[in-house]
Structures are given as structure tokens and as C-alpha cells.
Structure 1
Amino acid sequence: MADREVDFLLIGGGIAAATCAQTLRAESATGSVLLVARELDPPYHRPPITKGYLGGTETKDDGLIELPDDVEVLTRTSVMALDVAARTATLSNRDVITYRNALLATGAMVRRLQIDGVHLDGIHYLRAHGNADSLIEDAEEVAQIVCVGGSYIGSESAATLTTLGKSVTVVLQEEQPMERAFGLQVGGWVRGVLEAHGIEVIGDAEVERFEGDGDRVARVVLAGGRELEAELVVAGVGVTPDVMLAKKAGLEIGERGGVRADAQLRAHGADGLWVAGDIAEYDSVVHGGAVIRVEHEEHAAAQGRTVARNMLGAGADHDEVPYFFSDLADWASFEYVGPALAWDDEVIEGDMAEGEFTVWYVAGGKVVAMLSAGGHGDIDRGKRLIVEGGAPPAND
């Protein structure tokens, strides 16, 4: 028997749920809204964790997402079970909630390395404020840091820690940082930015094990035997969508590891249930109906808006082009719209050496993604060309 009923149940403490709550009220929803988050803090922006928050220029309060006063927020509370047929959720405090509409936005979990030495002190993962707090405290007395992984977390953390006076080495499996998402040319540019500020970048490398002096990490050993001094390690080797609750509820899990949803972000086979954020694997009208899953805060926010409007009866496909951004300290920044699932050509405008350029990612003569560095180019135009299937400007 249910303990209470709510009109809108939002499961997750990230920006997707927070933006959904904001949009519900902005669109004049009058029903009760309950946001349930297992996190210690109310919803906050996560990108500053590797940037301003890690670097000490932003506080927790700076990153908090403002919610309407009449949105109820339960932190440090998990949804333990979800009955999609009965439309009920059982919370960790044993309350049973009946919902009219629910959003499942449980986010992602950091992928942890499975090698010898991973349990040594001084090895850190970054996902939440608590992780950053531990890293900040631990880093105060060390000089040499190794970042494992060359994507957003590894590259951004390396840049921020370098501004704090640390000597940093980045080790990655790919040849260039951020290569998987943006290709070798942009990856080479990112590498150049990092190296120009004293960061050693070791590509095409595999971490074999960590070694310690006592209980604390002291060395990173690469396949082939090379040893790197490491008083502290930051592991940024990706995330996996947190679909434990979804699986337990019997929801369909897609090939990309997320919860399957239609173009309107409705979960397959579950009336009144929607998905957003890192777990949403949906039919993208922007990508010609291709099934995609996007891991970035800006797009999670966009999905939260779509879900709120569809909860109120809009019946609209999620048609926002996914947007990404990255800052490498105050050295360089870029924006990106896409994502390109595959491409066969890159058209570059501007000057990569100066850090002001645009890359058009092209497949079959049509723009499928665009990257803008240093403010070069028009991101809105990039979005239009992706939606329209237009040719890159250089081919107009």
C-alpha cells in the first residue's frame, strides 16, 4: 500500500531531473513534484568538478542548481525498487510512492580500473563533490601526479592540477587526447595545448599496474616496463550508465548500455515513465532515427526540458542537437555539436596553431558534427547543418 502519491516523481540528483523540475514549474505544472537523489548534496553542475571547483575558484554553492521552492527534494535517499505496472517506487526510507509520471535519470557510475595495485591509497576517481574534496586534500602535499585517461576527465584534471603547481603526466590508450570523440587532428591540438604548459602526454600506452611504498601509490607501471613516479593518481577512464534500478524493474536495456526510449524519451513498455541523461538510449530524430546515448551535462539538461513538456502533454520528439564543451584551464576551450557517430572527412577552417578554428565532421558529403575552438565559427549554424543534412561551408 502506498504511503503517498505524487504527480511527478524525478529519480536522480543530476541536472536532468533538476531541469525537468524547473521546466515543469515554468510550464505552469501545478501538481506535486518530488525529486529523489541518493547524492549528499542537492542537484549541482558537474563540469566544474574538474575545473573551477578542483582549482579552488568555485565553491559548492556556486554550482548549485536553483529549484522552485515548491519542488520537494529528498537527498541521501535512493529508489530501491520501481514497479512500472503499478507506477510505484519504493524508497530507501521504506516509503512507497505512487506516481502519475516519473523520470528515471540515475546518471552514470565511474568505470574503475581492474589492475594490480588499484586499492593503494592516493588513487582517485572524479564524479562528485566528495571525490573532488578528497583529491584536493590529498594533493596538497604532493608534487607528481599521473592522470590515467585522455578524455574530458583526464585532460581537464591535468590542466587544472598543473595550474595548482603540480607536475602532471597524462597516460592514455589512444595516440592523442580526446581522439575517440574528435579525431586525430583535434586530439593533436589538445596534446599540443597540454604539452605547451608542461604536461607530459604518453599516448598508445597501457597501464599494467600500480606499485606503492607501503599502502600508498608511488609508481605507475606501463606495459613494456616503463615506470612513472606518481605520488597521486587521477583515473578518468570513462563511465557506465547506472541502469541497476532499470534492470531490476525489467526495463529494456539497449546495445549502448542505456535504457531504451522512443524519440519522445518515453521508456519502452512503461506507461508514464521517461528517461533522460546518461542512461537515455533513444531514437534520435536529429540523427535520422539512429539510436544514440549521450554523456554530457548540457544535453542531459535539454532532455530534462523535453521530458517535462511531454509529461504535460506536448507529445514532442526530442530534437535538440547534443552540445558539449570543454575548458583546459584558461589555456584553451572548445564547443562541439553532434555527436558524429562516424565520419569520413574533416574540413578545417581557421588557425589550429592559434587555437581559433572550426572543424566540420562530414559523412557522405553532409555535416554530422562541428567543433568550434576559441570562439571560431557559428555553433548555431553547425546545428542547422546537422539537422538539415547540409554540406560544410567550404563545399557550398
Structure 2
Amino acid sequence: MAEPPSDSSSQPKPVIDLLESIDLGRTRRPRPPDAAALAAGLSRCIRAVDPELSLPPPETLTQDNIREASHGVEEALKLINCPHPLQASDIYNLEVRNVYPVAQWLVNHVRMRNGVMGDEKPMRMHILEEMQLLHEKIRAARVDSVVHRLMLLMESLKVLEKKELDLQSDYTAKKSDLEAKIIHLEEKISNDCDSKSLHDDLDHCISMSLEKLHLAKKELAARLRMVLSVKRQLEDVPSQSELIQYERRFSELNMNIEEIHRQTRKYYATYNALLDIKELMLKETSLLNSLNSQFQDAISDTAGRLKLIDSMEGILKGIKQKLEKVQDGIQADQRVCKTLREKYAAAAARQRRGSSLLKALQEEITRNQRLKNELQSRNAATLCEVEVIGSL
């Protein structure tokens, strides 16, 4: 058993400092090193070890209710199987030498519990990062946006094709107009028209035609650039085979996520079960050690036997509560298992029905194909008979 410092035999400050050395997520406020502070520190550490114990909040402890709180601390230490005996009078009378081993045991127990929970956080963060990375990869593929973009490009291509047909019609009309003008000029030449007038008309027609040709080339170049841009965009869109590969990859990623999620839940369940087993074994060991060390002293007198009986009744009550909690958990798991079995049975029935329907469909397809073949054979035979009769 650890001994307190030599100067703590009458001063509770070292014990209070030890109890407050554990960071339990509270705001520390200065308070005098009295029995209320000592009881508050013990109560806080006990609540950290077993949150289900009903103890008054440490902030409400004062000199007026210190005796009641000390008795509550004494009973709680028995329920969590503290190996060091402590009476309520040791707390409110500031018997530091008796309180120090209990405080040291509580602080070590809280630190060990916090250490176990701290080791669990890196694994949880790693799993969450992996799942976040998979989600980012899925979003990076942007299949929905690619399909939407493909539809827009197809609509743009249809619009361009319509415009091309309109331009073709316009060019045909212009060609007919030019041919009519050529015919008109040929008629003038054949009718011996004035050469100067004819020359002016030809110059005017040529200049107008060149201007129209220049404008048409500019418009054609702009149209060509637009068509090339649309073609490049269409080439950037994944093909049907690539989309199928994307879909397969997404299915694989989804299966990997579900497998990681299932394994994570399995690991958490295993860890929680092992942690409960460990706590129960520690409590059992502590109880046996306590009985071994205190049984002879407690059985020697009547008061000790009564105190031992009360202590055992409290332990029995705690065990019954723990047993009821475990039984409730088992019943909940059994209900979940029953529900899953019912779902599995319904799914198996649907699968069997689907298999029978598929088999019947395949048989009908085979029968239909056989009837088609027979019909074709009969038609061929009938045609041959008609040809023979016609030849006769």
C-alpha cells in the first residue's frame, strides 16, 4: 500500500491536489482544502470510474451536507470494489493517512480508463478518413454531371445540323439566283448589247459576288470553329464502355465501404465486449482480495459481521443490476436476430419464386422457338408444293 507524504498526516491539500490532477472536463475553481473539497474530489473520481453511481454533484458539497456525502462516498467505494477500506468519518474528520491510498487508487483507475479510450480514437479517425477519401473519389468521378453534359452537347449538335440544312437550302437558292443572272447575261451578249453597259453590269455582279463570298467564308469559318469545339467536347465525354467501367468501379467502392463499415462495427462490438469482461474480472479480483484481507477482522465481532453482511448485500445488488442490464441486451439482440431471420426467410422465398418463374420463362422461350422452326419448315414445304403444282 502506498503511503502519503510525511507532511500530509494532518493536511488534506496534497490529497486534494492528487484528486484534481485528473482532467475531467470541468472548470477548476479555487476552494479551501477542507473536508468538503476532499469529498468533492473523491466523488468526482468515483463518477468518472462508474457514471451510473448516484452521487450528489461535487459542486453542491458544503460543510453542511459533508456527513451525508461522506457516507455516499463510502458506499460507492464498496460498489466499485475499492481495495482500500475507508469510512465516512475518515473523510469529514480529515484522516488523510486513510484517505490517501483510496485517492491514489481512484486516480490510477481513471488514468488507465482514459488511456484505453485514448487508444481507440486514432483507429476511429483513420477509418473516418478512409471513408471520406472514398466519398471524395466518387464525387470526383462526376458521372451525373458528365451524362448531363453529354445530353446538352447532343442537343447542340442537333441544332447545328438543323442550321446546316438551312444554310444548304440558302446556298441552293443563291446558286439558282446566280444561274439566272448568268442566263440573263448570256442573253444580253447574244442580243449584241452595248459592251460598256455589259462590262459595267459584269463588274457590279462580280463585286457583289465577291463581297457575298467573303461574308460566306467568314460565316463558314465561324461555323467550322463551333463545330470543331463541339466535336472536341464530344470526344471528352466518356463512351458507353467507359461509363460501364465507371459504374462497376462505383459498385466495387460501395461494396468496399460496406465491408469496412461491417468490420468497424464488428471491431467495436468485440472491443466493448472485451472491455466489459475486463471490468467484470477486475471487480471480481478486487472483491476476492477485499474479502481475503478483511474477512478475519470482520468476522471477529458482531459489528464487523453486520458491516460485512451489509457490504455483501450492496455487492449483490450491484451484481443483480449488472445481470439485468446484460439480460436486456441479450433480449434486444434476440429480437434483432428474429427480425433478420424473418427478412431472410422472405428474401429466400422471393428468390425461389423468381427462380421458378425464370425456369418457366426459359421453357416457354424454347417452346416458342421450336414452334417457329416447325412453322418455317411447313411454310417451306407448302411453297415447294405450290411451285411443283405450278410447273405441272
TM above 0.5: no
Say which one has the larger Rg. Answer: 2
TM-score bracket for this pair, using the shorter chain length:
under 0.3
Higher fraction of helix: 2
TM-score of the aligned structures, taking structure 1 as reference length: 0.20
